[in-house]
Amino acid sequence: TAPEKNDFIRQIVREDLASGKHAAVRTRFPPEPNGYLHIGHAKSICLNFGIGREFGGLVNLRFDDTNPAKEDPEYVEAIKEDVHWLGFEWAELRHASDYFEVFYRGAVKLVEQGLAYVCDLSAEQVREYRGTLTEPGRNSPFRDRSVEENLDLFRRMRAGEFADGSRTLRAKIDMASGNINLRDPAIYRIKKVAHQNTGDAWPIYPMYDYAHCLSDALEGITHSLCTLEFEDHRPLYDWFVDKVDLAGDPPLYQPLVDAGFAVPAAKPRQIEFSRLNINYTVMSKRKLLALVQEGLVAGWDDPRMPTLQGLRRRGTPAAALRLFSDRVGISKQNSLIDYSVLEGCIREVMDAAAPRRLAVINPVKLVLGNLPEGHAETLRFPNHPKDTSFGDREVPFSRELWIEREDFMEVPPKGFHRLVPGGEVRLRGVGIVRCEEVIKSGDEVTELRCTLDPLTRTGMEGADRKVKGTIHWVSAAHAVPAEVRLYDRLFNVPDPDRDEDGKTYRDHLNPESVKVVQAYVEPSAARLPAEAGVQFERLGFFTADRRDHAPGRPVFNRTVTLRDTWAK
């Protein structure tokens, strides 16, 4: 069993349970459905759901759907699928939009308390008035409107009487605060855009800082985990929770109770951790969207994309992403994780979980001249070298084989231990063969005529005879042609995000990031179901393509090479 995780967030959770501050923990994963999840989100998913699992708490999946212009049900479906695929189950599926009526009543309450006002400044003016890190802001000329006037204007905002962007509802906090987030932040803006859940019911939408903390409170979230850039928003988070006071008299959440929601209402605590950054990739949704829209990749699930859909299609096991999240860990230090750490996790998981198969990617014919014409037999191969529970399988063997073209060299360099004219090599699971004759067409080798030493076959006295190299093969008559997609990193520089000399991430795409080849695989590989992972011996870890593979018409994606070829 894995050692108990003990990062600073889990320490806080442990203390809060031990002290009785909370009887149970409750966390949430709160994506905005404005794009596909990427590997950075996996860190947040593994953290929130991991804590739920380890401490016996509940975890909600909450769509932070407060910005309908950018959101889409397609993203909602993909996000649900991705969370399940990663191996997690939410206690409740919620939407910020479930709470729109409560948010509205909370805002009315702030207005009534003199803690919020309707402001007619334009977005640009608001920016001007806000001040800078070194300069205090200035009060809006609308800041001292009476409660009655504010209530009237806010109700009319809600009724759809005003144009988009013409007014906002703002919290009245402190325009001179050293924390810019407290300089009268917006609570509501006017946006007459249809919402995927609430349709045309709302011409105003709440801002993230207002909606998020109240959503947490309404769901009884005890520990609201977010990334470091929200650290400066925490005072505002606490301000809204305290001032709106959902559980006050009368409780504001009654409409939810009437609608059948459980409302545990807690005072949530926001805790920030550093976001995941990985080299050789980009992770912002904006850039990922551009890659898709500009046709630089084949879609959100292109196997080179850092999206969960892309990683999955490439063949990355969900367990490898969970291992990766654990290995990266949780802290407050920003860092850049090397891509090879992810690849190492994939190798580790697939090495233990993937059965072995034989495939030849760049074939050349090898004929065993001393076997009779038409000779064929069935061999048994173990499916895993270290784990007998994988059992074994039948592998057809015959007089004519395909081997890798690179496993033969007419003029070998020093240290080449595979097949050469007149030389010997072991055929994996068969015995030792000698190359007697090289048939060529022009410069190209078309066939290797060999003899198989019968005394070196499995079970014979010469089976242990030493030769330097062992190569893999498939039987030409039995092998199934397969499309093999050789994927590599999408970018060829460690920091494609850095815009320099007029270059952007678009200029750093790795031209070798995919190569499609025709290969031959042994029959049992062709019969694997879509998404099955295998190790093609000596070639790498591969996965049957989720969409294009069919038994009998195999398509395999290279998930990861056997060794790190990018190491400096």
Known catalytic residues are: 32, 275, 285
- The smaller minimum CB distance to Mg ion, of residues 82 and 424, is found at 82
Site for ligand ATP contains 226 (CB under 6 A): yes
- Give the nearer residue to ligand ATP in terms of CB position, either 329 or 396: 329
Residue from 26, 36, 44, 433 touching ligand ATP (CB under 6 A): that is: 44
| Range 423-452, binding Mg ion (CB under 5 A) | none
Is the bond preceding residue 68 a cis peptide, omega within 30 degrees?
Answer: no
- Min separation Cβ 265 and ligand ATP, Å: 21
How many residues sit close enough to ligand ATP to count as binding (CB under 6 A)? 14
Question: Which residue from 285, 314, 472, 549 is in contact with ligand ATP, where contact means CB under 6 A?
Answer: 285
Q: Describe the strand order of the beta sheet including 26-29 as a list of residue ranges.
A: 26-29, 58-63, 93-95
What, of Mg ion, ligand ATP, none, does residue 267 touch, CB below 5 to 8 Å by kind?
none
Amino acid making up residue 312 = R
31 binds ligand ATP (CB under 6 A): yes
> Which residue, 265 or 289, is less far from Mg ion as judged by CB?
289
The yes or no reply on residue 30 touching ligand ATP (CB under 6 A) is yes
In this complex, which beta carbon is closest to Mg ion, that of residue 287 or of residue 393?
Answer: 287
Nearest distance in Å: CB 88, ligand ATP: 14
E strand map for 74-227? 93-95, 116-119, 168-171, 186-190, 204-206, 223-227
Q: How far apart are CA 448 and CA 446, in angstroms?
A: 7
Buried-exposed string 247-270: b where 16+ CB fall within 10 A, e elsewhere = eeeeebbebbeeeebebebbbbbb
Between β-strands 269-273 and 223-227, what pairing exists: parallel, antiparallel or unpaired? Answer: parallel
82 vs 453, beta carbon nearer ligand ATP: 82
- Cα distance between residue 51 and residue 16, in whole Å: 13
- Report the residue count for the chain: 568
Q: Is 32 in the site for ligand ATP (CB under 6 A)?
A: yes
DSSP secondary structure of 21-47: S-SS-EEEE---SSS--BHHHHHHHHH
Between 32 and 149, whose beta carbon lies closer to Mg ion?
32
Q: Does 289 sit near ligand ATP (CB under 6 A)?
A: no
User: Binding-site residue total for Mg ion (CB under 5 A)?
Assistant: 1
Piece in contact with ligand ATP (CB under 6 A), picked from 36-44, 294-302, 370-378, 540-548: 36-44
Residue 461 makes CB contacts below 8 A (sequence gap 6+) with 455
Whole-number minimum distance, CB 224 to ligand ATP, in Å?
9
Quote the tokens at residue 144: 């001292």
276, 367, 401, 471: residue in contact with ligand ATP (rule CB under 6 A): 276
Annotate 278-322 with three-state secondary structure.
ECCCCCCHHHHHHHHHCCCCCCCCCCCCCEHHHHHHHCCCHHHHH
Nearer to Mg ion, 285 or 418 (CB): 285
DSSP-based three-state secondary structure for 234: helix
Residue nearest to ligand ATP (CB): 40
| Closest distance to ligand ATP from the beta carbon of 74 (Å) | 15
Q: What span, in angstroms and rounded, lies between the C-alpha atoms of 175 and 112?
A: 20
**Chain centre distance of CA 310:** 8
Closest approach, Cβ 106 to ligand ATP, in A, equals: 22
- Binding-site partner at residue 362 among ligand ATP, Mg ion, none, CB < 5 to 8 Å by type: none
Return binding residues for L-glutamine.
Answer: 64, 208
Other Cβ atoms closer than 10 A to 119: 23
Is 310 a residue that touches ligand ATP (CB under 6 A)?
no
CB of 32 to Mg ion, least distance (A): 5
With CB under 5 to 8 Å by kind, the binding choice for 276 among Mg ion, ligand ATP, none is ligand ATP
CA-nearest of 177, 178, 120 to 144 is 120
* Residue 331 contacts ligand ATP per CB under 6 A: no
Q: Which of residues 9-48 bind Mg ion (CB under 5 A)?
A: 32
Residue 489 interacting entry, from Mg ion, ligand ATP, none, C-beta within 5 to 8 Å by type:
none
Least distance from C-beta 250 to Mg ion, angstroms? Answer: 32
Helices (H) and strands (E) in the chain — how many of each?
14, 25
Please tell me whether residue 40 binds ligand ATP under the rule CB under 6 A. Answer: yes
- Minimum CB separation from ligand ATP for residue 46, in Å? 10
Q: Which of 239, 246, 105 is nearest to 172 (CA)?
A: 239
Segment holding 99, helix H or strand E: none
Complex with ligand ATP: residue 38 or 189, whichever CB lies closer? 38
- Residues of the binding site for ATP: 32-34, 38-44, 227, 275-276, 283-285
DSSP helix, strand, coil percent of the chain (3-state; round to 5) = 30, 25, 45
What's the CA gap between 482 and 474, in Å, rounded? 13
Q: Is 275 in the site for ligand ATP (CB under 6 A)?
A: yes
Positions in the binding site for ligand ATP (CB under 6 A):
30-32, 40-41, 43-44, 226-227, 275-276, 283-285
Positions in the binding site for Mg ion (CB under 5 A):
32
